[in-house]
Each structure stands twice: as C-alpha cells, then as structure tokens.
Structure 1
C-alpha cells in the first residue's frame, strides 16, 4: 500500500501543518480526511488542501489505516471513548496530544497499536522536531508509517522508553520558547546599547537562525563551534564569562528539569 488512509481527529494548527506536509510529499488528498467542529475551519481546510473534512469524528475515521488524535488533552478522554466503537480493525493510533500516556489511550480506545509523539511548533514551518514512542502492539510497518507522517514536518527521533517523552517535552517541545526568550533579552539589551528596536530585533532573530543552521550542518558539536568563535580576551569571551558567572548552565538545567517534572505531572492528571 503506497499511501495509507489517514484521518485527523481535530484540525488545529499542528494537524493542518501535518496535512500540508503530507500533501507536499505527494500524498493524494483523497487519502486524507479530517474532523473539525467549527464550520468555518472545515471550509478553510477543505479549500486549502482539497481533503474531505467532517464534523463527526467517526465519519472522518471510517476506513482509515491511521487515526491521528490532534485534539486538546483536556477533551481527549471524551473524544476517545466516543470514537472507540467506530475505529477500523488494525488501525494505527498516532497521538500528538501532550500529557496523555499510552496506558490511558489503551484504556479509552481498547487494545490498539499506538504511537505517542511530542512535536513542537516549528513543525508549522516544516522545521519541527518530534520524539516518538510506540507501544508493544505497534508493528514495524506501522512504526514506518508513523515516522513518515511526522517526518513530513521535520526531524523524527524514536524513544526507547515512554517516560523519555517528558525529557523531549523539556528539550524540544517547550524549547522554542527558550530561544524566543533569549531573542527577547538580546533585543532589549541591544536597545539599551543604542540600537533601534527593529534593528536589534532583526539582528537577534537572524543570528539565532544562522547559529542554528551552523549547528545543524557543521561536523562540529555546539561546544566546539562556540570555542571557535570565542577568541581569547575578545568580546565573545567577555560575554560568555558573564553568562557563566551568572550560573547560565545551572539555570538551563533547572529550567529543563522543571519542564520535565511538569510534563510528568500533567500526564498523571490528564491520563485519569
């Protein structure tokens, strides 16, 4: 089967990004369906992507090989319990909802092949990073299908243990906000140094983009790249020393630990 039939339950930003990525990868629009409660959003998605969009979740899932759960975590239990009787036999469930463990999905949906994933917002630009975990019922072929689905919007990495989802959430799921915060701070500091606000903002954003590109394509790790641009007694060294004197590495570690801890807490609360 060249192109599995894929149904999206919920058609918000992440789902529509995945739909766009699949179509850009030459997946026929007729192999994709979605459900969405808002009429205006249904019309927009159908018009933009040429797919069938339903108000009813069961109608969207009918005949699907893959069902992507893309609703808010707070309504996931209700959606799953209602959808379970309508799921096709042998279907692969892919959940992109934060904080809902596989055990909860299995309890609400029955004994299904389930892949849980944590994408991040750059997936909206097809530059995302996703960590994936598959339960024991997921076949090798289904793992390949899940990987192809998320690969349409960025980097895909498989996890050996489901609890690692919390670490993925801390590093990449929440990670874009950390870089936005740094860009905010650099922009504000640039203004205080006398730059116009727009100039400081553009310099900070382009520098972040360029540094990320260098880190991705270089044969050297970020630590070596940093060393190569840090001349002894130069301006960069002065800034780096100020960062480290303020406990930069310790603060980053504390921040990611806090994010991972909160991710585990939410999984406990939302998975009941």
Structure 2
C-alpha cells in the first residue's frame, strides 16, 4: 500500500515519532521514505540516529518532499506552521492532521489544498497499542484513504467515522482517555501504599489488574455492568467499595470531565 510513498512528518514530538516508529516497526515503509521536520537540531539528530530517517529544519521543503504530509505540532503552533505552507502541496498530495481540535476546513483553507484527513490518536500509540479515530474530506481519494488507514493503523487500532463531528467527541474519550486511566492507577497505587503495601507491590497489583480487566472485557461478550456484577457479592468487599465510589459521584465526575475535554476540543477548533 505504501510502496515508494514518501511521507513527511512536521512536528515529530511524541505522536509524530510514534508514527515513524510504527511504520518502520511494521516494515510498511523504509527509512528512506520518511522525512521529519523539526526546528531543533538536537531533536533532528536524535531521530536520525534512532530511526535512520531524513531530517530537515525547513517545513516548506518537507511539505514539497512528501506525498503524504503529517502534521503533529501542538494546537497552539498550528497557525504559525500552516501559513508559510499555503499552496505548497501538489494536487495528488495528502495532508493528515493528528492535532486536537484542528478542523478539516481550517487545514484545507490554510493550505489551499482540499485533500485532508483529520485524526485523533492517543499516547498508547507509542507502543503500537493506540486507538485512532479519523475521518476524511470528500476530496480524499480512495487510494489516499488507503494510505491514511495504513499509516494510522501502524499506531494500533484505527476507526473511520463518516462525520467530523465525532472527532471532538473522540478526543474526549480516546485522545484524553489515557489520562483518566493513569489518574485512577495513581490513586489506586497510592491507596495501596496507604494500606501498608510497598509501592513496588502496589504498583504491580494495580497495573496487572488493569491490564487483565481490559483483556477480560475485550474477550467477553458481556456488558461492563454484567462484568462488574460478577465481581460483586452481596455484602462483600467489592460491594462496600462500589458504594463509596457511587456516593462520591465517580460516574458524574467522570462524565463531567469528558464533557470538559469535549468543550475544550471545540474551543481549540474555534480559536483558529
């Protein structure tokens, strides 16, 4: 699918590097098909040494070089990055955004180029276990959609949606979601230490419990509520714990957090 396709990554931070690493790890491209553009020489040297890819400090040159140009800069930097690139992409080039809140229209307008894919990956992509939701402008060809699916699939799992409206919603779930999980991990580990466990033991118990629970849920056909009921004996320890979580409003607080992330994603899109 990506044979001889040249791919530029503008802004290779954690997510940009994850794409480079995923493509090479799965042997979807060779290192000579990848170019990363970053303003800091130290970062360019680091990526060249680690992956053997070509590097540049010039985003315009990078945009000219790649048939697929992936934008992985911070949302606040996007306007400054896009403005000099207006009109640089060729008709058959594809732009892919992995930037929270960045709308397809804004990309297409700023670049004067209609073939844009918008996506929202998450940080587990760095180990090939990410969840990426994406959509494409109507002008993106079937071949280009295939490129996008393969590139984003190198991060783990990918899910295409037919409406851009879902991207801000996805940002609040899969994009921001790892932070919710990490916070819960942190709280459980700290509670274990408070009970008297060593931090090493508490951390091992929590991480494997989280991992096992997710894998169990993936392999089960049961609803999460059924799985939870299966752990909960009347008058038992789990029942006592769940009563405290419900009394503390965990569901409401988590729902409010997800709505806050969604609203912020919408705000970031309107800010440009």
TM-score of the superposition, structure 1-length normalised? 0.93
Partner of 2:118: 116
- 1:216-235 matched pairs, under 5 angstroms: 216-235=218-237
Structure 1, 101-110 or 215-224: larger mean CA deviation: 215-224
Q: CA deviation at 1:151?
A: 0.7
Alpha carbons of structure 1 residues 114 and 212: separation in structure 2 relative to 1, 3 Å: same
TM alignment of 1:176-187, pairs within 5 A: 176-187=178-189
Contact kept, 8 Å, 2:91 with 2:113, in 1: the verdict is: no
1:86 alignment partner, SS class: coil
Structure 1, unmatched stretches of 5+, are none
Aligned match for 1:204, one of 182, 203, 206? 206
SS at match of 1:132: strand
**RMSD between aligned residues:** 1.6
Aligned residues of 1:6 and 1:32 also touching (Cα < 8 A): yes
Pairing of 1:5-16 with structure 2 (within 5 A): 5-16=6-17
Distance 1:77 1:113 in 2: 18
Asked if structure 2 preserves the Cα contact closer than 8 Å seen for 1:90 and 1:112, the reply is no
Aligned mates of 1:15, 1:75 — CA distance in 2: 15
3-state SS of paired residue (1:202): helix
Task: Indicate conservation of the 8 Å contact 1:131/1:165, yes or no.
Answer: yes
Q: Which residue of 2 aligns with 1:236?
A: 238
Structure 2 residue runs of 5 or longer lacking an equivalent are none
Measured in 2, the distance between the counterparts of 1:199 and 1:66 equals 46
Deviation at 1:2, TM superposition (A): 4.3
Give the match for residue 19 of structure 2.
18
Q: Report the equivalent of 2:55.
A: 53
Q: Is the 8 A contact 2:87 2:112 kept in 1?
A: no
Q: Distance in 1 between matches of 2:111 and 2:260?
A: 31
**TM-score under structure 2 normalisation?**
0.93
What do residues 219-263 of structure 1 show as CA deviations (whole Å, max 9, x unaligned)?
Answer: 333222222222233222221222122222222211111111111
1:151 maps to 153
CA distance in 1, matches of 2:208, 2:188: 12
Report how far residue 201 of structure 1 moved.
2.3
2:97 match: 95
Q: Is the contact made by 1:63 and 1:88 (CA closer than 8 Å) also made in structure 2?
A: no
Q: Any idea what SS the aligned residue of 2:87 has?
A: helix
How many aligned residue pairs are there?
270
State the match for 1:193 in structure 2.
195
Is the Cα contact below 8 Å between 2:9 and 2:70 reproduced in 1?
Answer: yes
| Separation (CA, whole Å) in 2 of partners of 1:266 and 1:58 | 25
Counterpart pick for 1:106 among 98, 105, 108: 108
CA contact (8 A) 1:33 1:61 kept: no
Query: 1:2–1:15: structure 2 CA closer, same or farther, 3 Å change rule?
Result: closer
Checking the alignment, whether the CA contact within 8 Å between 1:120 and 1:174 is kept in structure 2 is yes
